[in-house]
C-alpha cells in the first residue's frame, strides 16, 4: 500500500527550485511505496481557486489549500510546506494583472468598494491576502531548530556576513511607543464555557453595528482585545522623525504587513502620511481623486500619479522630493533605484529586517549605498523591546561569533490560528468615536475598548487544546535534547498573564524531573539566552506565535547566516506531520537574478532537511523499511553536501541551486549504494551512482554554461511549467540518469514478475465510509500475503465509478456504498455482476463542542439544524451516495414529521459545508467548523463520535421499508450521465470486479478473504457494519465460481 507525501507548489525561488528538485525526489522514491503529490498553494493558485465562476473549465483548479486543511485533520497526513507569498495588496494586484494578461478574467481588486458587489469581491480576495496559508495548515505547534549537521557545519565554516559594531559607539536604537499601543490597552480573559459572540461597534450616539457575528468560542479559550490609538501612533512617528534628524541617523520602520494584513498596512500608511505630510496634505484632494492609498506605500502614490497630466504629476513629484530636504534620510531597500523603506509595506518585514540590522553592526543602507546607523521604529511594545535588549548587550560585549554560538531552537504556540496571527477577521479600523466590544450569547459584554475614529481594534483567540499541546511539546523537547526550555511571557501583559496561568496548570501533568524550565519576561529571557549562546550553550525558546516567527529568524540569521536552513517540524494535533522548509524573505531577489542572468542562488537545504523527518514519519506510521532507508541515506547525503561545500554561490557562472541539487543526488545515490538493508535499492543505486560520478563534470558544465544571460520562465506569479522546467533542468544527461533510476526499478519489477509468474499489485477503489474497516481488512490480507501490495483510492462512490467509466483508470476491485451505483453506472458495459455484502443507516453525528448538543434528540434534530447559530455539513449528492441519501432523508423527514418545505429549508442552509465525501466532514466537525453532520452509523461508531439515531422511517437502514423509502427520489446532475433520478432505497454496500481488471485472480482472493466469516466478515462486524452472510447478487450466474460459495441468488 502506497503512502502519500504532499509537496506544496508555491511561489518565486522555492518553486523554481522545485522544478529541479521534485523530479529527483520522485525518481528516488519510485518503487518504495511512497508517492509525491503536489498541491498548489501559490498566490496565483489561490486566486484561481477562489474565482472559478470567472474562468473557463480549462483554467479552473481545485482549492488545494482547503484540501490540505482538511487533510491536517487526518492522522497519517504528511505535508512538506515550502515558503509561499503572504500577499500584500500590491502583490495581489500585480498577480491579478499577470493572470488577466494570460486570459484569466479575474476581477480587479476593489481597494475602496462602493457597491455591494465590490464589497463581496473584497471579502473573497481577503481569503488570499496576507498569511492565508499558515492558519489553514498549521494545525499543530511548531518545533523549529537547525538540523545537527547544519549547525555543526555552521560552526566549522562560519558565515562571513557578520559585521562588527563600531568601537566608538553606535547611535542605533529601537524606538517604540510608551502608551496607548496594543500592549498598553490589551484586555484578556479565559472562557469558562462554550459560547457564541458578536463583535460590535457602538458609536457615541448609541448606534450599534455588528462587525462580526456568530464567532464560536470554546471553554478554556483565551481571548484578548486591544487598540492601537492612531493619534498616539502619529505623534510617535513625528517624534522619531525629529530624533532621527537631530541624531543624523537613518529612519526605518519595521512591521509585518504580510502576516498582520489588516493592522500593519494601516500603521504603515500613517508612517508614510506623517513623513510626507507637507506634500500629501497639499495635494490631498488630487490624490484622493486618483485613488492613491498610503497604506500601500509611497510607490502606490507614485504609480497613481501616472494617471495625471504630466504637468500636475511633475508638480506633485517635485513636492514629494522636497520633503527629503527637511526630513531625516530613510533607510533604503534599493539605493540604485531610490526605493526607500516607506515605498512598499511588504519590503521590510520585521522578523527578517531586524536580524540584518543587528548582523550588519547596527546599520542599514543609505541612499549612497553605504551602511549607516539608524532608528528602527517598531511601534507596538509587545515585542519591540527584545531587539533593544539584544542591541544593548552587543554594545557592551561586541558582535556574536557564529563559530562559537550555541543553538537557539524554538517551540512555538501556533496551532488553531493562535494569537495575533489569527486576528485578521477580528481586526477593524474605527470609523467614528465609540466603543468596540465582544458580546456573548446572553448579551453580556466580555471585552470592550474605547476607540476614536481611525483607531485599530484587534481581537485574538488562543484555544486551550493548542496551549496544552504546546506545553507538552516544550517538555518533550527539553527532555529529548537535555536543554533548558524558557517560556518568554510578560506578566505585565494581559494576554500573557492568562497564558502563564495555563502553563502553571498544565506543567504539573508532565514529569519535569531534572529539567530546567523557566518562565521569564521576554527581555530577561533574551538576556538569559544570549548569555548561554555566548558560552556555546543551547537553549529552547518557548514562545507565542509572533515571537516564534521573530526568534526563528533572528537567531538563525546570526548563527547560520540564513533562516532558510532551519528545520520546522509541526506535529499536527490529529497525528499527522507538517514539515516546513525555511523562510522565503529573499526569494524575490533570487528570482530577479535568475531572470537577469539565469542563476538561482536559492539554497534548498531546508527542503532537503524537511524530507528526512517526512520519510521518518512514513516509517513510523507504516513500518515501510524503504522509507527508513531513504531517511538515513538522505541525512548522510546532506552531511556530505555540507562538508564538501556544495551550497549555491551568489555569482553567475558558479554552482547554483541546480548544481547543488545535482550534488545532493550524487551523494544520496552513493549512500544508497553503500547501505545493506535492501539489496534491490543497493544494486539499482550503485549503477546510478557510478554513472552520475562518471558524468559529474559534464553535468556541472551543463548546469553552469547556461548562466550569464536572461532566462524566460513565462511569468512571475504564474510561471509557465514547461519553460520553467526547461530553465531549471538544462542538463539532458542528468535528466536521462534520473529516468534511468525509474527504468531500473521497472526492469526489476519485470524480472520479479517473470520469476513469480504473478502480479503482486491490487488496486482497490472504495467509498469513504469503508475506509476504516477496509484498511483493517487490507492489513490482515497483506499479512497473509506478504508478496501483495494493495493500492487504494478513496472517494465518493459516484466519483469512483466515474474514474472507471470516464477517466479509464485501472481498478481491480470496486466497493460502493450504494449498490445502485454499480447497477446503473457499471453494468453491463464495465462490469458483469454486483455483490451486496453489508448495510448501514444514517445518523446525526456531533461532539462535545457542538452547539446545543445537550438538547438535541431524534424528535427535534431538524429544529436544531435550522437554528441560526448552528452549522451542519453534508456530502455532495453528485459525488457521494451519502450526499443524495441525506437529501432522501430530509424528504422522508418532511413526510414523517409533517413539516412542509422542511427539506428545502435544510438544503438551503450551510451550503458552504458541502464536501465531496462524508468522511471529509469529520475534519470540519473535529475543527469545530461545523456542529453536526449526517453520516453513516458505522463511521460515527468507528470515530467514537456522539450521535443520535433517527427513526427507521427516515434513516434508510431498514430493508423492510424499501417501498416506503421509494416515495422520494433525488436528481444527481454533475459529472453523472446515467443516474438522473435516484429512488429511495435502503443503504446497501456492494462490490464488483471491473471487466478490465488486470488482476482478477487476486481480486477474487481478496473478496474471498473479505467474505470469510472468520476473517474479513468478522472485521466488518467489529467496525459496526451489518454484514450479509451469505452475500446477495441479482447476477448470481455471472459471479466467479470461487465467490459463489459466499453468495446467494437475490429473489
What is the arithmetic mean of pLDDT over 760-771? 89
Which ranges of 708-805 would DSSP assign to H, the alpha helix?
721-728, 732-756, 771-784, 797-805
C-alpha 460/C-alpha 226 separation (Å) is: 9
pTM listed for this prediction = 0.71
* For residue 539, pLDDT beyond 60: yes
Kindly state the DSSP code that residue 822 receives in the 8-state scheme: I
pLDDT(757) > 50: no
The three cell numbers of residue 914 are: 458541502
Cell numbers placing 854: 445537550
Supply the pLDDT for residue 585.
58
Q: Picking from 854-868, 968-982, 1006-1020, which range would have the lowest pLDDT averaged per residue?
A: 968-982
- What is the pLDDT at residue 577? 94
Among 238, 294, 267, 408, which Cα is nearest to 350's? Answer: 267
Matching fold, domains 761-838+989-1049 and 841-983: yes
- Helix (H) / strand (E) containing 478: helix 464-481
Q: Which pLDDT tens digit goes with each residue over 606-622? A: 999 999 999 999 999 88
Q: Report yes or no: 174 and 161 within 8 Å, Cβ to Cβ.
A: no
Instruction: Identify the DSSP state of 1030.
Output: E
Q: Phi/psi zone of residue 361: left (φ > 0), alpha (ψ -120 to 50 degrees), beta?
A: left
pLDDT digits over 107-122, tens only?
A: 999 988 889 999 899 9
Q: Record the cell numbers describing residue 324, joined without a space.
A: 527629503
| Predicted pLDDT of residue 579 | 94
pLDDT band at residue 584 under the 50/70/90 scheme: low
Pairwise CA distance, residues 547 & 550, whole Å: 5
The radius of gyration computed from the CA coordinates of the chain, to the nearest angstrom, equals: 31
**Range ranked top by mean pLDDT from 387-396, 783-792, 930-939:** 387-396
Q: Is the pLDDT of residue 645 over 60?
A: yes
More confident of the two residues 795 and 356: 356
- Could you tell me the pLDDT band of residue 43, with boundaries at 50, 70 and 90? very high
> Residue written as cell 476607540?
451
pLDDT tens-place string over residues 908-941: 998 888 887 666 788 888 878 899 999 999 889 9
3-state secondary structure 664-718: HHHHHHHHHHHCCCCHHHHHHHHHHHHHHHHCHHHHHHHHHHCCCCCCCCCCCCC
Residue 469, phi then psi, degrees to nearest 5: -65, -35
**What is the structure's pLDDT at 2?**
67
pLDDT band at 135 (very low <50, low <70, confident <90, very high): confident
Q: Give the DSSP letter string of 275-312.
A: HTHHHHHHTHHHHHHTT--GGG-HHHHHHHGGGS-HHH
How is 847-914 classified by DSSP, letter by letter?
-TTSTTTTT--TTTHHHHHTSTT--EEEE-TTT-HHHHHHHHHHHHHHHHTT-TTHHHHHHHS-GGGE
Query: Which CATH class for the 841-983 domain?
Result: alpha beta
Q: Which residue is it, cell 524573505? A: 585
CA 857 to chain centre: 37
What number does CATH give the domain 761-838+989-1049? 3.40.190.10
Positive or negative, the CA dihedral 496, 501, 505, 507 is positive
Kindly list the strands in the beta sheet with 434-439, ordered across the sheet, starting from the edge strand earlier in the chain: 208-217, 195-203, 434-439, 445-451
Calculate helix-pair angle for 89-101, 43-50, nearest 10 degrees: 70
Name the pLDDT band for 747 (thresholds 50, 70, 90): low
Q: Using CA atoms, how far apart are residues 244 and 327, in angstroms rounded to an integer? A: 9
Mean pLDDT in residue range 876-884: 84
What pLDDT, on a 0 to 100 scale, did the predictor assign at position 544? 94
Q: Which are the contacts of 806, defined by CB distance < 8 A and separation ≥ 6?
A: 975
- d(C-alpha 409, C-alpha 481), whole Å: 10
Rounded to an integer, what distance in angstroms lies between the CA atom of residue 392 and that of residue 46?
43
Angle at 17 between CA 11 and CA 22, to 5 degrees: 105
Residue 577's SS3 state is strand
Whether 255 has a pLDDT exceeding 50, the answer reads yes
Average pLDDT over residues 548-574: 90
* Rounded Cα distance, 1006 and 781, in Å: 7
CA distance 343 to 298: 4
Per-residue pLDDT at 58 exceeds 70? yes
Neighbours of 501 (CB within 10 A): 12
At residue 758, does pLDDT exceed 50? Answer: no
Question: Which grid cell is 874?
Answer: 453534508
**Lookup result for grid cell 457521494:** 880
What percent of the chain stands above pLDDT 70?
A: 97
Alpha helices in 598-678 (DSSP H): 605-622, 625-643, 657-674
Helix (H) or strand (E) holding 321: helix 310-326
Does the pLDDT of residue 693 top 90, yes or no?
Answer: yes
Selection from 123-132, 371-380, 565-574, 840-849 with the highest mean pLDDT: 371-380
Distances (CA, A) of 64 to 60, 61, 591: 12, 8, 24
Grouping H, G, I as helix, E, B as strand and the rest as coil, residue 215 is strand
Is 924:915 a contact under the CB 8 Å cutoff? yes
579 backbone dihedrals φ, ψ, rounded to 5°: -120, 110
Q: How far is CA 578 from CA 253, 538, 567, in A?
A: 33, 24, 11
pLDDT of 586 strictly over 80? no
Does residue 753 surpass a pLDDT of 80? no
Q: Mean of the per-residue pLDDT values for the chain?
A: 92
Quick check: 731 and 23 in contact, CB under 8 A? no
Mean pLDDT over 447-471 rounds to 96
Q: Which of 90, 754, 719, 180 is nearest to 456 (CA)?
A: 180
| Distances, alpha carbon 1031 to alpha carbons 270, 350, 835, in Å | 73, 66, 6
894's grid cell: 418532511
- Output DSSP code: residue 329: P
Q: CB atoms < 10 A from the CB of 171, how many?
A: 16
Low-confidence winner among 229-243, 391-405, 561-575 (lowest mean pLDDT): 561-575
| Predicted pLDDT at 348 | 82
Domain parsing of the chain, residue ranges? 3-159+561-745, 173-402+413-462, 761-838+989-1049, 841-983
Confidence of residue 972 (pLDDT cuts 50, 70, 90): low
Amino acid at each position: 500500500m502506497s503512502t502519500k507525501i504532499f509537496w506544496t507548489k508555491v511561489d518565486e525561488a522555492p518553486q523554481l527550485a522545485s522544478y529541479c528538485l521534485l523530479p529527483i525526489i520522485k525518481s528516488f522514491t519510485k518503487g518504495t511505496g511512497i508517492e509525491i503529490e503536489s498541491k498548489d498553494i501559490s498566490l496565483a493558485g489561490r486566486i484561481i481557486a477562489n474565482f472559478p465562476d470567472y474562468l473557463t473549465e480549462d483554467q479552473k483548479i481545485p482549492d488545494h489549500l482547503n484540501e490540505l486543511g482538511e487533510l491536517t485533520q487526518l492522522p497519517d497526513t504528511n505535508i512538506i510546506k515550502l515558503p509561499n507569498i503572504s500577499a500584500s495588496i500590491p502583490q495581489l494586484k500585480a498577480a491579478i494583472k499577470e493572470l488577466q494578461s494570460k486570459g484569466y478574467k479575474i476581477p480587479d481588486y476593489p481597494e475602496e468598494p462602493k457597491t455591494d458587489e465590490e464589497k463581496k469581491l473584497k471579502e473573497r480576495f481577503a481569503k488570499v491576502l496576507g498569511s492565508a496559508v499558515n492558519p489553514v495548515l498549521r494545525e499543530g505547534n511548531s518545533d523549529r531548530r537547525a538540523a545537527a549537521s547544519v549547525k555543526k557545519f555552521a560552526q566549522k565554516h562560519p558565515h562571513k556576513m557578520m559585521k562588527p559594531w563600531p568601537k566608538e559607539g553606535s547611535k542605533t536604537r529601537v524606538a517604540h511607543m510608551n502608551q496607548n499601543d496594543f500592549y498598553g490597552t490589551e484586555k484578556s480573559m479565559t472562557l469558562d464555557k462554550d459560547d457564541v459572540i458578536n463583535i460590535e461597534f457602538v458609536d457615541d450616539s448609541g448606534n450599534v453595528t455588528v462587525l462580526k457575528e456568530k464567532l464560536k468560542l470554546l471553554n478554556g479559550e483565551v481571548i484578548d482585545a486591544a487598540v492601537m490609538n492612531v493619534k498616539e501612533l502619529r505623534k510617535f512617528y513625528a517624534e522619531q522623525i525629529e530624533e532621527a534628524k537631530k541624531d543624523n541617523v537613518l529612519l526605518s520602520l519595521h512591521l509585518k504587513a504580510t502576516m498582520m494584513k489588516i493592522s500593519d498596512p494601516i500603521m504603515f500608511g500613517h508612517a508614510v502620511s506623517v513623513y510626507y505630510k507637507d506634500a500629501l496634505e497639499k495635494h490631498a484632494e488630487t490624490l484622493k481623486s486618483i485613488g492613491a492609498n498610503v497604506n500601500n506605500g509611497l510607490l502606490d502614490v507614485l504609480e497613481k500619479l501616472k494617471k495625471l497630466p504630466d504637468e500636475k504629476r511633475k508638480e506633485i513629484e517635485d513636492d514629494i522630493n522636497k520633503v527629503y530636504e527637511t526630513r531625516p534620510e530613510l533607510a533604503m531597500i534599493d539605493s540604485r533605484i531610490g526605493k526607500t523603506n516607506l515605498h512598499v509595506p511588504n519590503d521590510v518585514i520585521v522578523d527578517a529586517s531586524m536580524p540584518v540590522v543587528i548582523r550588519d553592526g547596527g546599520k542599514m543602507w543609505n541612499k549612497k549605498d553605504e551602511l549607516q546607523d539608524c532608528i528602527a521604529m517598531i511601534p507596538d511594545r509587545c515585542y519591540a523591546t527584545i531587539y533593544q535588549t539584544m542591541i544593548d548587550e552587543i554594545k557592551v560585549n561586541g558582535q556574536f561569533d557564529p563559530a562559537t554560538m550555541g543553538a537557539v531552537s524554538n517551540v512555538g504556540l501556533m496551532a488553531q490560528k493562535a494569537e495575533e496571527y489569527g486576528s485578521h477577521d477580528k481586526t477593524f479600523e474605527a470609523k467614528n468615536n465609540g466603543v468596540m466590544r465582544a458580546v456573548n450569547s446572553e448579551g453580556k459584554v466580555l471585552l470592550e475598548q474605547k476607540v476614536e475614529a481611525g483607531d485599530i481594534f484587534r481581537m485574538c483567540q488562543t484555544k486551550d487544546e493548542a496551549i496544552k499541546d504546546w506545553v507538552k511539546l516544550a517538555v518533550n523537547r527539553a527532555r529529548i535534547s537535555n536543554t533548558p526550555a524558557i517560556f518568554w511571557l510578560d506578566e505585565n501583559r494581559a494576554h500573557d498573564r492568562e497564558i502563564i496561568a495555563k502553563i502553571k496548570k498544565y506543567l504539573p501533568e508532565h514529569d519535569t524531573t531534572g529539567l530546567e524550565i523557566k518562565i521569564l519576561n521576554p527581555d530577561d529571557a533574551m538576556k538569559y539566552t544570549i548569555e548561554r549562546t555566548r558560552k556555546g550553550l543551547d537553549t529552547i525558546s518557548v514562545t507565542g506565535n509572533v515571537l516564534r516567527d521573530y526568534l526563528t529568524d533572528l537567531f538563525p540569521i546570526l548563527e547560520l547566516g540564513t533562516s532558510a536552513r532551519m528545520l520546522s517540524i509541526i506535529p499536527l494535533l490529529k497525528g499527522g506531520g507538517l514539515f516546513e522548509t525555511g523562510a522565503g524573505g529573499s526569494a524575490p531577489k533570487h528570482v530577479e537574478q535568475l531572470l537577469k542572468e539565469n542563476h538561482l542562488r536559492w539554497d534548498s537545504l531546508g527542503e532537503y532537511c524537511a524530507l528526512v523527518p517526512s520519510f521518518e514519519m512514513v516509517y513510523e506510521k507504516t513500518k515501510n523499511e524503504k522509507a527508513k532507508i531513504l531517511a538515513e541515506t538522505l541525512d548522510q547525503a546532506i552531511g556530505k553536501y555540507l562538508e564538501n561545500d556544495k551550497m549555491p554561490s551568489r555569482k553567475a557562472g558558479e554552482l547554483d541551486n541546480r548544481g547543488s541539487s545535482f550534488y545532493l543526488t550524487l551523494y544520496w545515490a552513493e549512500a544508497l549504494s553503500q547501505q545493506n538493508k535492501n539489496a534491490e535499492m543497493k544494486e539499482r543505486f550503485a549503477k546510478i551512482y557510478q554513472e552520475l560520478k562518471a558524468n559529474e563534470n559534464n553535468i556541472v558544465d551543463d548546469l553552469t554554461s547556461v548562466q550569464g544571460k536572461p532566462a524566460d520562465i513565462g511569468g512571475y506569479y504564474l510561471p509557465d511549467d514547461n519553460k520553467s522546467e526547461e530553465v531549471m533542468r538544462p542538463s539532458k544527461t542528468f535528466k536521462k540518469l534520473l529516468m534511468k533510476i525509474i527504468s531500473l526499478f521497472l526492469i526489476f519489477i519485470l524480472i520479479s514478475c517473470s520469476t513469480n509468474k504473478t502480479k503482486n499489485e491490487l488496486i482497490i477503489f472504495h467509498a469513504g465510509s469503508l475506509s476504516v474497516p477496509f484498511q483493517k481488512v487490507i492489513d490482515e490480507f497483506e499479512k497473509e500475503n506478504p508478496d501483495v501490495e494493495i493500492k487504494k483510492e478513496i472517494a465518493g462512490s459516484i466519483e469512483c465509478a466515474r474514474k472507471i467509466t470516464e477517466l479509464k483508470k485501472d481498478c481491480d476491485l470496486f466497493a460502493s456504498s450504494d449498490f445502485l451505483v454499480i447497477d446503473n453506472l457499471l453494468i453491463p458495459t464495465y462490469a458483469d455482476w454486483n455483490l451486496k455484502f453489508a448495510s448501514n443507516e444514517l445518523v446525526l453525528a456531533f461532539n462535545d463542542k457542538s452547539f446545543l448538543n445537550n438538547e438535541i434528540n431524534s424528535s427535534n434534530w431538524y429544529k436544531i439544524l435550522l437554528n441560526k447559530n448552528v452549522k451542519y455539513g453534508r456530502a455532495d449528492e453528485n459525488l457521494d451516495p451519502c450526499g443524495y441519501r441525506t437529501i432522501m432523508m430530509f424528504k422522508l423527514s418532511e413526510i414523517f414529521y409533517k413539516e412542509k418545505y422542511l427539506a428545502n429549508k435544510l438544503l438551503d442552509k450551510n451550503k458552504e459545508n458541502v464536501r465531496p465525501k462524508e468522511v471529509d466532514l469529520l475534519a470540519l466537525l473535529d475543527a469545530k467548523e461545523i456542529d453536526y453532520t449526517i453520516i453513516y452509523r458505522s463511521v460515527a461508531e468507528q470515530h467514537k463520535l456522539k450521535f443520535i439515531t433517527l427513526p427507521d422511517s427516515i434513516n434508510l437502514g431498514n430493508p423492510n421499508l424499501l417501498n416506503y423509502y421509494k416515495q422520494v427520489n433525488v436528481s444527481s446532475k454533475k459529472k453523472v450521465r446515467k443516474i438522473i433520478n435516484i429512488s429511495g432505497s435502503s443503504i446497501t454496500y456492494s462490490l464488483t470486479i471491473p471487466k478490465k481488471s488486470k488482476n482478477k485472480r487476486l481480486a477474487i482472493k481478496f473478496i474471498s478473504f473479505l467474505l470469510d466469516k472468520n476473517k474479513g466478515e468478522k472485521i466488518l462486524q467489529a467496525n459496526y457494519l451489518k454484514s450479509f452472510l451469505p452475500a446477495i447478487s441479482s447476477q448470481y450466474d455471472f459471479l466467479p465460481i470461487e465467490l459463489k460459495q459466499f453468495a446467494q441468488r437475490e429473489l
